[in-house]
Structure 1
Amino acid sequence: MHLALWIAAGFLATVALVGGLSKSFIPRQKLAAAHGGGWTGDVGDGFVKSLGALELLAAAGLILPAALDIAPVMVPVTAVCWVLLMIGAMITHGRRREFPFVGLNLVYLSVAVFLAVGRFGPESFS
């Protein structure tokens, strides 16, 4: 179980890192032209950059606290925050009728729930 939770954290951290880097450094107009990125055309640059920063923080929060043994409780807290972010993403893609992305976000949400429950519960770092 411990290994599965580390794999889940690594997977989500990778997803968050890629998403955060793209939202932080790729121009919003280019993101809006990409498949699944049309929603960025409906919001401002600041919002997209803020989401990018949050995703970069999530990538760090899913791995570093446990790896460095500094406040490892932040791993499941970050996973819960990722759940909330994915709910927002699912609502956004659902409103745009981008249902494959709703499904993808549901997968990410499920992995985050698994991580949060596992790290708050039977496989906590304490």
Structure 2
Amino acid sequence: MNVTLWIAAGLLAVVALAGGITKTFVPKEKLAEAPGGGWTARASVGFVKTLGVLELLAAVGLILPAVLDIAPSMVAVTALCWVLLMVGAMITHLRDGDGKFIVLNLAYLALAAYVAWGRFGPEPFTG
């Protein structure tokens, strides 16, 4: 189970890193033209960039606390926060009628819920 939790956290970290880099460094106008990015046209630049920074922090929080053995319980907390972020993403895509992105966000939510459950429960990091 520990291995599958690491794999799930790693996959989520890659997704968070990619999304974070995109939202932080790609101009909002270009994001709005991308598939699933229509919501950015209605959001402020500051909001989009803040989401990007939060996703970058999530990428770090899903891996580094455990690797460095500095507050490794933050992996579970980060995964729980990712669940909340995905709920918001699904609501946003539902409003836009982007059904395929809702399914994708649901998959990310399920992975994050698995990591949170596993690290809070049966496979916590012990220091």
Normalising by structure 2, we get a TM-score of 0.99
2:50 and 2:79 map into 1 onto residues whose CA distance is: 18
Match of 1:86 in 2: 86
Query: What one-letter code is carried by the residue in structure 1 that aligns with 2:42?
Result: D
Match of 1:77 in 2: 77
1:67-90: CA deviations, max 9, x gaps?
Answer: 000000000000000000000000
Query: What one-letter code is carried by the residue in structure 2 that aligns with 1:22?
Result: T
1:78 and 1:3 map into 2 onto residues whose CA distance is: 18
Query: What one-letter code is carried by the residue in structure 2 that aligns with 1:39?
Result: W
Match of 2:39 in 1: 39
1:50-106: CA deviations, max 9, x gaps?
Answer: 000000000000000000000000000000000000000000000111010000000
2:5 and 2:91 map into 1 onto residues whose CA distance is: 27
Runs of 4+ in 1 over 6 A off after TM superposition: none
Structure 1: which 5+ residue stretches go unaligned?
Answer: none
Structure 2: which 5+ residue stretches go unaligned?
Answer: none
Identity %: 65
2:6 and 2:37 map into 1 onto residues whose CA distance is: 29
2:76 and 2:25 map into 1 onto residues whose CA distance is: 27
1:11, CA displacement in angstroms? 0.2
1:106 and 1:42 map into 2 onto residues whose CA distance is: 23
Computed over aligned residues only, the root mean square deviation of the Cα atoms, in angstroms, reads: 0.3
Normalising by structure 1, we get a TM-score of 0.99
Alignment of 1:1-126 (within 5 A): 1-126=1-126
1:116 and 1:43 map into 2 onto residues whose CA distance is: 29
